Amino acid sequence: MTSEYSLKACVICPNRHYGFCLTLLQTLDNELEKHFIKKLQLPAGDFAFRQGDSFHGFFILKSGWMLLSRLTEEGKRQVLRPILPGKIFGLQPDQQAPTFYSAQAIQDTDVCNISWTIQLCTTHPDLAMRLIWASACDKLVTEMYLTQICQRSARERVAFMVLELFRNLKLRGLSKDNIMPFPLKQEDIADMLGLTTIHVNRTLHALKSDGLFSIHQRELTILDYEGLCNLVGSIDKYMAYDYPMKS
């Protein structure tokens, strides 16, 4: 993990047009950037933080993919959600307390660390509002996954996950046509959707056989968008809600 201070790096960041980063850029001053924003590079496999760590503030993912996951006592891993560029992660209720989950890069990533304090609530109320917004977004995404996991079959869960990722990548300009990056291992999917690796394997196989999508070289190609939607149902309205919207 390398770190550096880089004044005005936000000005050229690909995420600057959206969400928290947009608001951040709008209210950015040297003071803020110098003292409260730290930039890091994390190679694939590295952790931004580990379950049980404690730290101040929170992170924003600049590029790459990360996974938030929690290890249970029995050693099982629960993937809480994947983090795409522009997303905030690591924001906790009590910043003194040990974190509930780990944040691990599954690709080489760039990360920003924001030293959020209550002081910034006062000096930057628009950032505070944005933080409330972002937190509510994360909650919503988790609730969507919870609903899917509780109520749908393995096929449907996988289809949901693919569509959800696809739409969020598209909004970020990170997919071309029907092709999206797909760095998730089958084990990641299993730990995310409450299935076993073996069953994920069989399910992926079935969905590919049905011509819904194909996966090669860590890239997923959607072959039957409508078919996927039918499998998932029209949760369109909320699907891309996770996205850090403009304004």
Site residues (vs a copy of itself, CB under 8 A): 70, 72-74, 76, 78, 80, 91-94, 97-98, 100-101, 118, 121-122, 125-126, 128-129, 131-140, 142-147, 149-151, 193-194, 233-234, 237-238, 241, 245
Q: How far is the CB of 161 from DNA (least distance, A)?
A: 14
Please state, as a whole number, how many other Cβ atoms lie within 10 Å of the Cβ of residue 99. 18
Cβ atoms of residues 189 and 220 within 8 Å: no
As given in the structure block, the two tokens for residue 115 are 């030293």
Q: Which residues contact 221 (CB under 8 A, 6 or more apart)?
A: 178, 179, 213, 214, 215
- State which of positions 148-187 bind DNA (CB under 7 A): 153-155, 185-187
Amino acid letter, 199: H
Chain-centroid distance of CA 166 in Å reads: 12
Residue 170 or residue 185: which is nearer to DNA going by CB?
185
d(CA 17, CA 35): 22
Q: From DNA, a copy of itself, none, which one binds at residue 183 (CB under 5 to 8 Å depending on kind)?
A: none
Q: With CB under 7 A as the contact rule, which of the stretches 169-177, 203-211, 227-235, 236-244 interacts with DNA?
A: 203-211
Amino acid letter, 46: D
Q: From DNA, a copy of itself, none, which one binds at residue 145 (CB under 5 to 8 Å depending on kind)?
A: a copy of itself
Binding to DNA by residue 202, rule CB under 7 A? Answer: yes
